[in-house]
Structure 1
Amino acid sequence: MQELNLAFFALAAPAVLFAGISKGGFGSGAAFASASILALVLEPGEALAIMLPLLMLIDLATLGPYWAKWSWPDCRVLILGGLPGVGVGALLYRAADADVLRFLIGSISIAFVAWQMARRKGLIRVSRREGGTAVGLFAGLVTGFTSFVSHAGGPPAAVYLLSRGLTKNQFQATTVLVFWVINVAKFVPYAFLGMFTLQTALADLLLAPVAVLGAWLGVRAHRVVSEQLFFGITYVLLAITGSKLIFDALT
């Protein structure tokens, strides 16, 4: 792993702060940009290992402000589908090499941006009709899988939740609870796969205050910041980092 020097923290601190703000105030859809950014300078597995405890800390910090504001039926169905998805992700991770994971993270980044842009231009319309349990379980399965391999479970969860017609607070609170459970479930297989090291633990310890600060800012930004501006910046960042990761994987 790269030395934990000033250059590393100059990149890692803004990435973790961004993850905290995104998860704390704007759902979990864009938080995986932090893993994409770290994967520019680290092995993908190391980037994922550093981010997981920090994402768990952000989840814990944001549970209180959104407590009991979630839609429990939607939480339940996404969690029931998500836990098996974590298992599928663990199986794929054992068989994939670093370039495969770089390509996967980069592709998910680009696909998310393309989906959001198409939706905003009206090329893709998200139905406001309620999805059935089977749809929710499948969305949860994809959420758990993509969350395990790249911390990118936000987009598939968002597709399902947007179809449920939730309020802004319900949507945010539901993502907080769902990803708290899924991230806790990911910890054991991450440890079993040997992804955590003393160096990743030290990085997490030093970056923990940044994660908590990001969560605090995100909860407050949830009420005052324009989502259009926030996600506009997010899409640009994801497009750049995703393209770079795909280029590195192919070359």
Structure 2
Amino acid sequence: MMTDPFFYATAIPAVLMVGLSKGGFGGAMALLGVPLMALTIPPVQAAAILLPILIVMDMVSLWSWRSHKDNKTLFIMLPGALAGIAIGWATAAWVTDPMIRLIVGVVALLFVARFVSTSMIARRSNSPPPVHGHRPLLGLFWGTLSGFTSFVSHAGGPPYQIYALPLKQDPKTYTGTSVRYFAIVNAVKLAPYFALGQFDTTNLSTSLALAPLAPVATLTGVFIVKRMRPEIFYPFMYLMVFLTSLKLIWDGVTRLLAG
């Protein structure tokens, strides 16, 4: 287990923020987890330490949201996600994390811009923004991109949200479905991470030391989200996508410029 106190000064806030996100509080805080920990350890090691903790958080979230889900969303998106993980595994030696973060960030930013423009037009015409039904081919595409970016850089949230948010599901249904989706994605990622040598005794023992924080942070996120009304939840979620997109673009550009 790692013993550097400076590491825990970054790792504890990182785990708490990721846990709030896992409870259903949006994806922007989750993206801060690895960069925060990377202030004291290499990013790859930070991701490896965080993944088992994500599994613990997923288990807590699955129990907390066990009564809420949309099976059709899962049926449409999960096959693509599994394919995306396989593609990420197969191309791990060639695909760069900064480029993936930049691309996903730009796509997410365009998605939010489209939502804002559509909402403004609807407000001027005194009509509600359109609600999209399920579109299987589009869901398969975004699911594949979500699985791929989740494997490469733990950034699978924005592609999932691009498909799922326009469905305008009840907040509890949306959160319960996304919890199930990412629980499966993270569980599947364990095998290729092991195969690529991402886990060792030091990393796993450090994950175990940080794991008790996971249920506390996750249940706090669940408590807040379960009390949010739809008219608050959806603007908040789009704000989280916006902040996530900026963070991804910043990470991608700065790392590419750094070479």
Q: In structure 2, which of residues 92, 95, 100 is the aligned counterpart of residue 104 of structure 1?
A: 100
Aligned residue runs from structure 1 range 46-195, under 5 A:
46-96=45-95, 100-105=96-101, 107=102, 110-111=105-106, 114-115=109-110, 118-119=113-114, 121-122=116-117, 128-195=131-198
Q: CA deviation at 1:55?
A: 1.0
The question of 1:250 aligning with 2:245 is answered no
Q: TM-score, normalised by structure 2?
A: 0.81
Residue 7 (1) aligns with residue 10 (2): no
Specify the alignment match of 2:200 in structure 1. 197
Deviations 1:25-50 (A, max 9, x none): 22556523312333344333212211
Deviation at 1:229? 6.8
- Point out where structure 2 has 5 or more consecutive residues left out of the alignment: 121-128
What do the CA deviations read for 1:142-186 (whole angstroms, capped 9, x no partner)?
111011111111111111112222110110000000011111000
**Structure 1 CA distance for aligned equivalents of residues 119 and 88 of structure 2:** 28
C-alpha RMSD over aligned residues:
3.0
The aligned amino acid for 2:67 is A
Q: Which has the larger radius of gyration?
A: 2
CA change 1:220–1:231 in 2 (3 A) is farther
Mapping of residues 12-23 of structure 1, within 5 Å? 12-23=11-22
What secondary structure does 1:218 align onto? helix
1:180-232 CA distance string (max 9 Å, x none): 11110000000000011222112211110112211111111113466567986
Is 1:82–1:140's contact at 8 Å kept on the other side of the alignment?
A: yes
- 1:81·1:139 contact (CA, 8 Å) conserved in 2? yes
TM-score after normalising by structure 1: 0.84
Which residue identity lines up with residue 247 of structure 1 in the other structure? T
